[in-house]
Chains A and B, each alone.
Chain A
Amino acid sequence: MKNILTLFFVIGLYFHTYAQSESGFKIGWFINPEVGGILHTNPNHFGTTLGGALGVKLFKERLKIGWQMYGRPGPINPQEFVVTPSDGQTYKGQSTITIRADQGAAGLFIAPVFNIQKIKVEIPIAVGQMGAGFYLTGEDRDTPDGARVSVWEDRLMDSRDAGFSTWFEFGARVFVPLKHDNIGLGAGVHYTLVPNWETYADPSGELYNNRIRVAMILAFESNKP
């Protein structure tokens, strides 16, 4: 949250300094909401992600700098994982638990932009933090003793139901304008690294590490070449 506030402060300061009049407007801006998916293996499935990036465009709009944030929410990703609780525990009389995965990543977004006629090609690089974990779902969220479900998730998964890691992502994105240069539609392919992320349900961390992520992106942005 502190980072988000700092970013907004810096963006606001830039705009306040330079955007006093239409003619004096020196830097560009972008808002890029996106819908994407992580190509998971083991098991193979598509993990739908929602998020986006926003920020400023510098050097005659040839460099985007901003904030990127996306998540893979469990409720829209039906893939379930069956895990044996730690230390031979049972939950509601069962020796295994069925859980879902959710994830969120956020960080600094930098993307050089090249124009090939009307098409814009970006090479995005993102660096930040990822938090991801596994959680009880459906009626299992109503715990036997009325305690908060996170208490049971901690207990059943040896306090490693979720984990955090540094997050790196790089890739390529292509945008085509839609009727007007200020709005466009893009597609992107990214490679994601989360070294050292591990949890009880995924000790290898391979659910999110070394994964391809694809995205469809909407561009609302300035156009000041």
Chain B
Amino acid sequence: MQRSNFRSTFISLLNARSYQAPYYRLGQSGRFVVLLAGMILGFSATGQTLLDLSVGTSSQDNFNVQVAVRQQFSDRLQVGLELQAGSPQYRFVGAQVMREGYSYAASVPLAFRLAKEKKIQLYGIGRLGARFQGIIDPDENDMRDSILASTAIIGELGLASGFRVGEKITLQAGLSFPLAYEVSPNALFEYTWTKLHFGGSWNSPRTSVFLHSNVGSALGASGDTYKYIWSLEVGVRYTLGNAQNEPFQFIQTSF
């Protein structure tokens, strides 16, 4: 009997939507904003939080927007949450090209400082997340009455380096290997690429302005998907809370 009560309580908590709590009265975007604000406030309370806002364009998207919240837990470790929304121009669903639709991704980027010299630092970078995208009007009947959606697991592993040129300028370069594995509607290895990063930032104590470019050859899905990817990203970083840890000489590029 007790077990049954526990189970029903647990299920009702999971289905907290039934309480009509204010959070669940919000739309999807409203919930997203509340969640993000909560994360920022929560992180700020524990010290150094970094908020990155950026826009970009790429061979995949006409334009995209990124919001990332990162927490620097120590001089060596930074973990965050990155959300990306894009307007696709050349993406794939089930290894078939998509030229109109939507694309969203949520991922947990990780960066850890591996080595440090006077002006240069080496970082290991990683990422794990999920990407949601879909083709609007896949049957091309001009009715825009259906969507072919896809879900993929995304990941990235690599090394990057930040070099301080002067008091305010930092250059960075890196080499990483992002990958996407589509799990729905098909299970297939969508692509991986050799991502060369180049970029730089102008830094003041609390604000940085950055520019990143990424380029590399790609492969996947028996050659049906990407063969080459490039992207360009410009953004601004705000440091929230007290700078308790030594700042990284590096801003992680988006996926």
Contacts and interface: CB of A to CB of B under 8 A. Distances in A.
B215 interface: yes
A223 B171 contact: no
A51 B67 CA distance: 28
A150 B223 contact: yes
A70 B115 contact: no
A31 B160 contact: yes
Interface string B172-211: 0111010100000000000010101110000000000000
Interface in B34-52: none
Interface in B218-253: 218-219, 221-224, 227-228
A62 interface: no
Contact of B228 (A76, A180, A221): A76
Contacts of A54: 158-159, 175
A71 B119 CA distance: 31
B165 to A, nearest CB: 8
B168 to A, nearest CB: 16
A68 to B, nearest CB: 10
Give chain A's interface residue range (CB within 8 Å of chain B): 35 or more
A182 B174 CA distance: 14
Contacts of B227: 73-75, 102, 135
Contacts of A22: 116-117
Contacts of A19: 114-115
B224 A148 contact: yes
Contacts of A25: 115-116
Nearest to B115: A19
Contacts of A15: 114-115, 122, 124
A133 interface: yes
Contacts of B114: 12, 15, 19, 29
Interface residues of B, number: 39
Contacts of A8: 124, 157
Interface of B: 95-97, 114-117, 119-120, 122, 124, 157-161, 163, 171, 173-175, 177, 179, 192, 194, 196-198, 215-219, 221-224, 227-228
Nearest to B97: A141
Given A4-B177, A222-B117, 10 more contacts: A12-B114, A33-B197, A53-B175, A71-B217, A102-B223, A104-B219, A133-B223, A135-B223, A148-B96, A224-B117
A71 B222 contact: no
Interface string A10-35: 01100100010010010001010100
Nearest to B188: A148
Q: From DSSP, what is the main secondary structure of chain B's interface residues?
A: strand
Interface in A94-146: 102, 104, 131, 133, 135, 141
A5 interface: yes
B8 to A, nearest CB: 44
Nearest to B159: A54
A75 B60 CA distance: 13
A223 B177 CA distance: 25
Nearest to A25: B115
A104 B217 contact: yes
A131 B194 CA distance: 14
A9 to B, nearest CB: 10
A188 to B, nearest CB: 16
Contacts of A183: 120, 163, 171
Given A29-B114, A33-B175, A182 B223 contact: no
Give 8 nearest A-B pairs by CB, closest first: A71-B217, A73-B228, A150-B222, A73-B217, A220-B161, A182-B120, A75-B228, A15-B114
Contacts of A50: 194, 196, 215-217
B115 A51 contact: no
A51 B124 contact: no
A162 interface: yes
Given A52-B194, A52-B196, A148-B222, A180 B173 contact: no
A33 B216 CA distance: 10
B130 to A, nearest CB: 19
